[in-house]
Amino acid sequence: MRFLSALLAAASLVSTVKAHWLGEIKHQGYAPYTPAGYPVFRNVKDYGARGDGVTDDTAAINAAINAGNPCNRGCTSTTMTPAVVYFPAGTYLISSSILPAYFTQLIGDAANPPTLKATSNFAGFGLIDGNPYYTEVLNWKSVNVFFRQIRNFIIDTTNIPPATAATGIHWPTAQATSLQNIVFNMPTASNVVHVGLFIEEGSGGFMTDLTFNGGATGASMGNQQFTMRNFKFNNCKTAIIQIWNWGWTYHGLSINNCQVGIDMSAGGSSNLNVGSVTLLDSSFTNVPVAILTAWTPSSNPDTAGSLVIENIALNNVPVAIKGPSGTMLAGTTGTTTISAWSNGHRYTPSGPVEASGAINANPRPAALVSNGRFYTRSKPQYENLPVSSFISARSSGAKGDGATDDTAALQNAINSAVSQGKILFLDYGLYRVTSTIKIPPGAKVVGESFPVILSSGGFFNDINNPKPVVQVGSTSGQAGQVELSDFIIGTQNAQAGAVCIEWNLATSGTPSGMWDVHVRIGGYTGSQQQVAQCLKQPGSAAVNKNCIVAYMAMHVTKGASNLYMENVWLWTADHDIDDAANTQITLYSGRGLYIESQNGPFWLWGTGSEHHVLYQYQLANTKNIFMGQIQTETPYFQPTPNALVPFSPVSSLNDPDFAASCAGVSGNCANAWGLRVINSQDVLVYGAGLYSFFNNYSTACSTFTAGQTCQQRITSIEGSASNVNIYNLNTIGTREMLNRNGAQVAWYADNANTFASNIAVYKSD
């Protein structure tokens, strides 16, 4: 009896320090394009890291990262060497930078996040340097850094003398990257110069759940665009320095006891570097100046420094917004809430009107809101579940080798996980499927470093008979809830009828969710939609049928409702990631994201849709949509051929036909829409970057000197529109920024920003 109770006590002791399931699960991710034995999963302790707070673990951690020779120093980019580098709980002392490879995820125990603690003589640009300067240029071209995550860490620079330069994470990256659940601990001495997060360039991106304690600057950042939410800043001198940007969306900032909240004054009034900032549902407490700007009615460029804020709580913030000549918006030594305010150009609905001052806050449909803020939910990591709650796709018989037909094995794995109430762990692999994979109500699927569900074969190659690759809910309006994270849906060879995701599910209560689930069409090994098959042909309007690779990226059908999307990138490749020169390729994917849900609600936090032929985002007959920094690009080959080639417009899908709308319109009118909204209401866009950089593969059209002539139009609001509002619309390469029922609303040259053209506030009515 005594023996048994001792055993039970020991067992419970063990269970209180139970490791995260990710460390425990059988590791059998398979990277088919690597030499035998390539490890997808690496536990840093298996490579000699101690995590005891005493031993210098730098070399061991970097050895774990570099096992199997992934894409690190000198490598252009890759999709062939995925890696999960897992850190059990502990304190890992490091004396120089951790240097994660391309396509490598650094993941700490989500239940007990490990600490990376710098030694006092730490040397390096970032405790984690996500893109090092081995030469005077970054190791990876920042706008091509995709598919990388860091999550569940405490980054600690407190051993480094406060006046010695130190950076927590250096992260110049692009789409489909994320930082999640990270605490930055820095000294609070008055002479501190430490910076928590540093980004100087790139094309992001998404981050959430970061806390910055101490330091000179919590986050110092320049990048084309980002969506960031749930950041806490405590006792930083300046919480955020915005170095440069085109558009940036912040939600849920909590800035406490900092001298300045957001400093967006870079460049000064004569040459502003910061394009625009959208800030909502945030709070400032004990902050003398919440926002510091250099915008004035006569600052340059004309619309740079555009700022829109909504639902901002102040508690002892004497100055809410400070400009070059003093207070622009007073705060309070007590408490108040700013409903909404903007500076920059307004079209409500016509303009431009240059103004700074209060605006009417967007009416928020109740369906989108929780506790007074737009609803949010971070990616679930299931850290409290035991490993027995997971079923592995490979243990269930799926091969993931990019060649075997895994349709039946993968479907069986999903079905058996659902019937047992378990989570499907999609071990790394490329799961080739030849008919639709059905995701039923109740499914939870978690990928390991972005495995791919890859459609293949004739079933998906009929342009007149489209088929879903992954179908969520078998009929439009089927009831149920699902949670999907960390995987990719793609297509192989010609797939002219492939709808990568069809979303049918109607969810009540907690929304269904997609987190870090991407559509990646072509440009990688296994897709056979690469340089060898689909090399760009500038000037040729002839279509190679082998390069018609998708019908639509994602279709949200009429009966679907209540879906939360976070960090979702629907990308048709413009270049081959696995080509050492990143050579450009011409692929034809018909449509990006199409939402025709009758009721909503849908949240799109940090989503992008790029290089689809007819449109990137189209909303029709829908309502209750939140979009927070959407980002689009037009196909580089257009207008050779234009958007009517090779997909004939389908009226039942409300496809644009560019017939009446382009009659008599000069320029490249029949080019892909960035955003098209038809007969919809309560569509609230908080930041949009709609870009057209190319014309027949030349960027010469995308500058102000060239007259932004890549295409004629990019944003269209058609039919009835009620409460269809856009904050900080940034367009590039298009002459007309926004059209209403075919008529031009805004002209690029009236709204010049740093590189884009910007409208701070557009309201449809």
Please state the closest distance from residue 733 (CB atom) to ligand NAG, in A.
15
Residue with tokens 């967006």: 264
Indicate the residue whose CB is closest to ligand NAG: 539
Please state the closest distance from residue 639 (CB atom) to ligand NAG, in A.
8
Nearer to ligand NAG, 513 or 641 (CB): 641
Nearer to ligand NAG, 350 or 540 (CB): 540
* Alpha carbons 643 and 612: distance in angstroms, whole number: 9
Is residue 554 within a helix (H) or strand (E), and if so which, with residue range?
Answer: strand 548-556
Residue with tokens 């980019």: 77
Give me the torsion for CA of 42, 488, 675, 634, rounded to 10°: 90
Q: Tell me the one-letter amino acid at 278.
A: T
Q: Which of 48, 268, 372, 538 touches ligand NAG by CB under 6 A?
A: 538
Nearer to ligand NAG, 560 or 670 (CB): 670
Asked if 709 touches ligand NAG (CB under 6 A), the answer is no
CB atoms within 10 A of CB 173: 28
3-state secondary structure of 460: helix
Q: Tell me the one-letter amino acid at 482.
A: V
As a residue count, the chain comes to: 765
- From residue 586 to residue 625, the character string flagging contacts with ligand NAG as x (rule: CB under 6 A) and all else as - is ----------------------------------------
Please state the closest distance from residue 697 (CB atom) to ligand NAG, in A.
6
Token pair listed for 582: 């990143």
Please state the closest distance from residue 152 (CB atom) to ligand NAG, in A.
48
Burial of 525 (0-12, 13-18, 19+ CB in 10 A): middle
Nearer to ligand NAG, 609 or 696 (CB): 696
Q: Looking only at residues 36 through 95 of this chain, which bind ligand NAG when binding is defined by CB under 6 A?
A: none
Nearer to ligand NAG, 220 or 696 (CB): 696
Please state the closest distance from residue 76 (CB atom) to ligand NAG, in A.
23
Please state the closest distance from residue 636 (CB atom) to ligand NAG, in A.
11
Asked if 631 touches ligand NAG (CB under 6 A), the answer is no
Asked if 336 touches ligand NAG (CB under 6 A), the answer is no
- From residue 651 to residue 690, the character string flagging contacts with ligand NAG as x (rule: CB under 6 A) and all else as - is ----------------------------------------
Nearer to ligand NAG, 435 or 640 (CB): 640
Cα–chain-centroid distance for residue 593? 15
CA angle 507, 512, 517 (to 5 degrees): 145
Q: Which of 149, 485, 609, 696 touches ligand NAG by CB under 6 A?
A: 696
Q: Which of 35, 74, 326, 539 touches ligand NAG by CB under 6 A?
A: 539
Pairing relation of β-strands 369-370 and 373-374? Answer: antiparallel
Nearer to ligand NAG, 176 or 701 (CB): 701
Asked if 640 touches ligand NAG (CB under 6 A), the answer is yes
624 to each of 79, 378, 541, 571, 620, how far by Cα in Å? 36, 20, 39, 25, 12
Please state the closest distance from residue 542 (CB atom) to ligand NAG, in A.
13
Given a contact cutoff of 8 angstroms between Cβ atoms, the answer to whether 174 and 142 are in contact is yes
> In DSSP terms, which residues pair with 446 in a beta bridge?
425, 485
Asked if 638 touches ligand NAG (CB under 6 A), the answer is no
* Alpha carbons 622 and 596: distance in angstroms, whole number: 6
Asked if 700 touches ligand NAG (CB under 6 A), the answer is no
Q: Tell me the one-letter amino acid at 516.
A: D
Token pair listed for 607: 């989503």
Token pair listed for 410: 């993968």
Nearer to ligand NAG, 326 or 539 (CB): 539
Please state the closest distance from residue 672 (CB atom) to ligand NAG, in A.
17
Asked if 742 touches ligand NAG (CB under 6 A), the answer is no
Nearer to ligand NAG, 43 or 696 (CB): 696
Asked if 537 touches ligand NAG (CB under 6 A), the answer is no
Nearer to ligand NAG, 388 or 583 (CB): 583
Token pair listed for 265: 């004054």
Asked if 542 touches ligand NAG (CB under 6 A), the answer is no
Pairing relation of β-strands 588-595 and 548-556? Answer: parallel
| Exposure letters 549-559 (e unless 16+ CB within 10 A, then b) | bbbbbbbbbbb
* Alpha carbons 257 and 315: distance in angstroms, whole number: 10
Burial of 336 (0-12, 13-18, 19+ CB in 10 A): middle
Q: Binding residues for ligand NAG, how many (CB under 6 A)?
A: 4
Residues that bind ligand NAG (CB under 6 A): 538-539, 640, 696
